[in-house]
Each structure stands twice: as C-alpha cells, then as structure tokens.
C-alpha cells in the first residue's frame, strides 16, 4: 500500500504505514516523536535498523520534518524564528568545525525544482575570504543545474567540487515529493542520510551520501509536488484501492504543485538559505546575515 503513495518525507511514510497496519500496531525499527521548536511543529523520525528501513522504504538515519505553515500566516514576524528553528534542527547533524560545501540541486528554470538554487542565492559564501574576517566558518556553495542542462549528474559535479574544497561536510538542498498537498511548500525535511536526486518524481540519479562523497552529507528538502496517483489515493474515500486503473497507468507522470509556487519558492529559498547560515555561523542572528548579504 505504502509504495503506491509516493513520498520523500519519512514522517508521511510512517503515517502511511500506520494507516495500513492500524494505529495500534508497532512499527519495527522506527522511533518517532513530535514536539515544537520556536512555535513550529516538528516530527523527528529515526529509522534504527534494516527492519525500519524496509518498513518505510528509506535508509536508516534521522529525518526531521518542520512544519513552516505558521510562517506563511505572518511572514514579517515569523521569518527569523522560522530560520532559527531550522538552524537549530540542522546544527546537531553537522560537524562542529571545518569547511562546508552547500550544493543547491535542481533546475532554476523550473520553479517547483528551483528551491536548491534559490537557497544557495542566500548563502554567506566565505571560503574566498580566508582569515580576512575572523570568526566566520569557511563555506562554499554552488547550483550547477541538472543533467539535461549541464551533461553532468548532480553527484558528479558535487563530488568534483567537494574534492577541491575538501569539506568536513556537504549540505544538499533539493525539492521533494509529498503525499499530501497540505505539506507542499510548507514542510522542510532535514536528514543525515544524504539524498538521491530525482527519486521523488521517478527519475532517480546517482546518490549523494557519505558512502559516495566520503564525508557526512546532510540533506534539506522541501516538498513542492505530489503525483496524481498519490493525490487521488490520499483524497478518495477508498484510498489507493479506489484509484482508477487508467489513472494508475498515466498518473505517475502527472504532478500537482501550488498555483503560487513561484512566490513560495522564493520565500522558502530565503528561509532555508538563512537557516544554513545560522547553523554554520553560530554567532550571527538573522539580522546580521541580512546585513552581510546586503
């Protein structure tokens, strides 16, 4: 049942499993808890072993989903708390010291896939400064595009740049697929398992993980699309079993995204970019970042 409803979010995969098995059923190899961070709801799912990975269809590791819905209700007052909440969840997954390379994955010319490049546009890039500005961590970043526009897999150019920069960790920012339209451009998932670009839309590429890059890889993903079959299964009273066969055959190549996705990606790119800055440059505030980026 779960495999018929596509999602990149571990929190949703857990929800789908519980719906299929019954709310009282114990999910093997998975630990989960809900809490709040600076006024935002957070779900932390830890896949502990192979049994949990098999149940949810995701690698073992930590997956943290932050609901930024309240930010969009009051953007002026909620921007700094939103960025700080994400930063506080991201920080423990990163090494305390050493240079970091940030890769913005996706196609800047295709808005639902542009959150990675948008986030990189708000980074404090400091590697070239050396010791000229004491106290700033060395950060390099790039958004090179996708295979169709560069001729390179994301893993190829990220690996090449990482070999040059020699970072202590790599952060990758990418668009994801969700099960529910309520999470589109609202949730942000942070994971310590790396990422397989394109997997959410059935176009999986080479993995970006600790095994392929040789350093810790932390992913930040924003769900921007839901495929038609998954959407129908989520909305119809009979669930996945009620989805018409014609839609099953063709619906996997059809995707739904919010009508104001352009504006939302701009907003999310800024929030995620600031969050990465706050996690890496721990003495700065959102106001400090804004001043340095001006």
Among 3-7, 105-109, 122-126, 130-134, top mean pLDDT goes to 122-126
Provide the sign of the torsion angle of the four alpha carbons 155, 169, 11, 285, taken in this order. negative
**Residue closest to 272 by CA, chosen among 208, 216, 221, 223:** 221
Q: Is the pLDDT confidence value at 3 over 70?
A: no
Compute the average pLDDT of residues 163-169. 95
**Residue closest to 264 by CA, chosen among 188, 195, 171:** 188
Angle between helical axes of 286-293 and 75-90 (0-180°, round to 10) = 100
Compute the average pLDDT of residues 135-163. 89
Over residues 235-269, the pLDDT tens digits come to 777 766 777 776 776 666 788 899 999 999 999 99
Q: What is the pTM of this model?
A: 0.90
CA distance 269 to 267: 6
Q: What number does CATH give the domain 2-293? A: 3.40.50.1450
Mean pLDDT of the chain: 89
CA dihedral 2, 55, 61, 41 (to 10 degrees): 50
- Position 251 scores a pLDDT of 61
Q: Is the pLDDT confidence value at 273 over 80?
A: yes
Strand pairing category for 187-191 and 169-177: unpaired
User: C-alpha angle with apex 187: 80 to 16, nearest 5 degrees?
Assistant: 155
pLDDT band at 53 (very low <50, low <70, confident <90, very high): very high
Strand pairing category for 61-67 and 100-104: unpaired
- Position 204 scores a pLDDT of 53
- Position 196 scores a pLDDT of 83
- Position 12 scores a pLDDT of 94
- Position 252 scores a pLDDT of 65
- Position 288 scores a pLDDT of 96
- Position 279 scores a pLDDT of 98
Beta bridge partners of 139: 100
CA distance 115 to 121: 10
- Position 2 scores a pLDDT of 43
Residue of higher predicted confidence among 209 and 146:
209
Beta bridge partners of 142: 103
Strand pairing category for 169-177 and 139-142: unpaired
Over residues 185-233, the pLDDT tens digits come to 999 999 999 998 755 455 556 889 999 999 999 999 999 999 888 888 7
- Position 1 scores a pLDDT of 41
């Amino acid at each position: 049942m779960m495999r018929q409803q596509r999602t990149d979010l571990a929190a949703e995969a857990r929800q789908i499993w519980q719906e299929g098995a019954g709310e009282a059923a114990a999910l093997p190899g998975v630990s989960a808890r809900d809490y709040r961070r600076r006024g935002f709801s957070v779900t932390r799912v830890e896949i502990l072993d192979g049994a949990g990975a098999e149940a949810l269809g995701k690698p073992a590791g930590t997956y943290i989903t932050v609901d930024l819905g309240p930010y969009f209700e009051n953007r002026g007052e909620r921007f700094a708390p939103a960025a700080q909440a994400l930063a506080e969840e991201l920080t423990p997954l990163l090494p305390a010291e050493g240079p970091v390379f940030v890769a913005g994955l996706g196609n800047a010319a295709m808005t639902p896939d542009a959150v990675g490049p948008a986030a990189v546009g708000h980074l404090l890039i400091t590697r070239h400064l050396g010791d000229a500005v004491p106290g700033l961590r060395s950060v390099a970043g790039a958004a090179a595009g996708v295979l169709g526009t560069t001729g390179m897999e994301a893993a190829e150019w990220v690996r090449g740049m990482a070999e040059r920069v020699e970072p202590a960790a790599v952060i990758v920012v990418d668009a994801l697929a969700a099960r529910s339209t309520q999470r589109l451009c609202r949730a942000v998932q942070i994971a310590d398992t790396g990422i397989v670009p394109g997997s959410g839309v059935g176009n999986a590429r080479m993995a970006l993980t600790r095994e392929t890059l040789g350093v810790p890889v932390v992913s930040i993903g924003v769900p921007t699309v839901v495929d038609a079959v998954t959407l129908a299964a989520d909305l119809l009273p009979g669930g996945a079993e009620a989805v018409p066969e014609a839609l099953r055959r063709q619906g996997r190549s059809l995707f739904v995204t919010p009508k104001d996705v352009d504006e939302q990606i701009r907003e999310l790119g800024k929030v995620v970019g600031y969050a990465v800055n706050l996690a890496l440059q721990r003495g700065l505030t959102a106001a400090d970042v804004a001043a340095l980026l001006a």
